[in-house]
Amino acid sequence: MDIEGKTAIVFGGASGLGEATARRLAGEGADVVVADLAADRAAALAAEIGGRAVACDVTDPGSVQAAVEAAAERSETGLRIAVTCAGIGTAAKLIGREGPTPLESFAKVITVNLIGTINALRLAAGAMVGNAPDEGGERGVCVNTASVAAYDGQIGQVAYAASKGGVVSLTLPVARELAGKGVRVMTIAPGLFDTPMMATLPEQARAALGASVPFPSRLGAPDEYADLACHIVTNPMLNGEVIRLDGALRMAPR
């Protein structure tokens, strides 16, 4: 699918991987809706790239529906591209110093990362299936964000790894379901990327993490995620698959 002239929505688009993707999509000629809980940051970015900002909580059906409708109404051809980057990474062991970790600590991460992805995916795809097909028969493309933690999660990543593993696992069945409707579904599983979450760590720790990546031995750049997201949109044979974007990293237990 050509990006130029298409309407796109990026959930979690105000920072990190989402911000880089929103910028790249806009640079390729898309009309981008930046959907994020951080309404002020989303508004600033949207103004910069010539898009629109929508305050959005991916765990709230009404909030996501409003964001999708805001995107769909911006073009006669409807919403064509949806990228979901919204997520949280709170760490917690199964058993803490005072015993089993409270269930709500796990539930919040899974609700945002997995249920939030499903919520965004179902509503974005629901809008796309009503679009007229393009010359290749496509009606839309959805790109989800997992993590290498889905495959080799570390100690303390119980909920995070489970939530991202769920995103990995839903990719194929959803792609199969939507194939007959002309909507493709893909997932990117990033490794260690230089995002705002990583920026909270001391420089020494950041350098050590970057050095743990086989090649290139550094943290990934959000622009590299955006590059892959845009390639997925433009390559019609990419469907129902998860791509690790990690420099051959395999996470150690700790």
3-state DSSP call for residue 32?
strand
Which residues, in sequence order, are CB contacts of 242 under 8 Å at separation 6+? 146, 150, 168, 171, 186, 187, 188, 189
CATH superfamily of 7-244: NAD(P)-binding Rossmann-like Domain (3.40.50.720)
Q: Where are the domains of the chain?
A: 7-244
Q: How many helices and strands, by DSSP H and E, does the chain display?
A: 10, 9
Q: Catalytic residue positions?
A: 160
Calculate what percentage of the chain has a pLDDT beyond 70. 100
3-state helix, strand, coil split of the chain in percent (to 5) is 45, 20, 35
Residue-wise pLDDT for 82-139, tens only, equals: 999 999 988 899 999 999 999 999 999 999 999 999 999 999 999 999 999 999 999 9
Residue-wise pLDDT for 63-92, tens only, equals: 999 999 999 999 999 999 999 999 998 889
